[in-house]
Amino acid sequence: MIIDEIILGDCLKWIPKLKGVHLSFLDPPFNQGKEYRFFNDNLSEEEYWGWMKEVVREIYKVTEKGGAIYFMQREKNTEWVLRILRETGWTLQNLIIWKKMASAVPQRYRFNKAYQIIAFATKGKKPRVFNKLRVDYPLAPWHKYPRENGMYLTDVWDDIRELTSGYFAGDEPLRDESGKRIHLQQSPVALLLRIILSSTMPGDLVLDPFAGTGTTLVVAKQLKRHYVGIEIDPHYVEVIKKRLSKLRKADDISRYREYYRFTENLDRIWPMPEKHLKIPKQKTLFDVELSKHSKHILKDGRATGIEENQLT
């Protein structure tokens, strides 16, 4: 059985060799014409979605009954995502709106775009595991009283910032010696933490068939889940191995535990090593770490003149 491995290769060749998968996070290239060393990101619509359907079907075959998939895509592709999930046997549970904490993408003749979709689906009508997470969500201006026990998560996630938005990128994105991000589509640790906590238990197997820089694997390992990552780019595979071998401060999930402290079974689903028993207080996910060398500050909740290359 293949577990706790990062595999160099084509996911369609390796997924059939797996078994007993409990959760898959599917964040593929979006076919936007970006430059990848080992993938053509400018396929025809028929080719791209045919390929996606094949990947989703193979994941379904190796997933345990009640296991989950979280399929992330651009909002304009929602119809394709839902159709593929339905035609390959999955049952949709939620269409999650990830409203990213960044400037909206401007549009000329429609509303500006500010979110991506994450389709949460299961193999069977009900998930084998679904942990109802409670968070210490910041109060809206019109709320008069603080919540004593936090609130349950909804299908709108607007408390996790993306890592591709310039001055909000912070220390988490992996960078080369020049300061350029190694991978432009790196997913945030906070996003994978939420997904893995919601749909797995310690000891479960998590799959990421487009592993990228390995965020899914890094989070799964800290949560004591088994993992398998598949990545076609040899450079990214080496990056992932290094990232797994030594935990960076920016990858440490313990800083988010306070935010989830109202979850009833938190100790069971999020076992903590002794060195993390004392958790620094952090009530929200909105904290932004700017470089100590930056002369720019946040004023009135807005960033002033900060460029991406000025962050560490």
Q: Is the confidence at residue 66, as pLDDT, over 50?
A: yes
Tell me the two tokens of residue 29: 């290239």
CB 123 within 8 A of CB 138: no
What pLDDT score was predicted for residue 38?
59
Angle at the Cα of 12 (from 9 to 16), degrees rounded to 5? 105
The strand pairing partners of 230, in sequence order, are 7
Per-residue pLDDT tens over the stretch 149-165: 999 999 999 999 888 65
Q: Is the confidence at residue 304, as pLDDT, over 50?
A: no
% of the chain surpassing 90 pLDDT: 63
Mean pLDDT of the chain: 84
> In angstroms, what is the C-alpha Rg of the chain?
19
What pLDDT score was predicted for residue 225?
98
Q: Is the confidence at residue 249, as pLDDT, over 60?
A: yes
Would you give the DSSP letter of residue 142? T
CB 29 within 8 A of CB 39: yes
- C-alpha torsion sign, points 84, 21, 131, 263: negative
Higher-confidence position of 293 and 24? 24
- Residues with Cβ within 8 Å of 95's Cβ and at least 6 positions away in sequence, in order, are 78, 82, 117, 118, 119, 120, 155
CB 115 within 8 A of CB 98: yes
Q: Is the confidence at residue 36, as pLDDT, over 90?
A: no
Higher-confidence position of 90 and 44? 90
What pLDDT score was predicted for residue 250?
92
What pLDDT score was predicted for residue 233?
93
Strand, helix or coil at 9? coil
Higher-confidence position of 147 and 289? 147
Higher-confidence position of 133 and 106? 133
What pLDDT score was predicted for residue 279?
43
Find the mean pLDDT for residues 62-84.
96
Amino acid code (one letter) for 73: Q
Q: Is the confidence at residue 291, as pLDDT, over 80?
A: no
What pLDDT score was predicted for residue 40?
61
What pLDDT score was predicted for residue 158?
94
Query: Which of 72, 64, 60, 73 has the alpha carbon at shortest distance from 20?
Result: 64
What pLDDT score was predicted for residue 125?
97
CA distance 282 to 73: 30
What pLDDT score was predicted for residue 177?
76
What pLDDT score was predicted for residue 67?
98
Q: Whole-prediction pTM value?
A: 0.85
Least confident of 100-114, 189-203, 286-300: 286-300
The continuous run of DSSP H or E covering 71 comes out as: strand 63-74
Would you give the DSSP letter of residue 193? H
CB 217 within 8 A of CB 227: yes
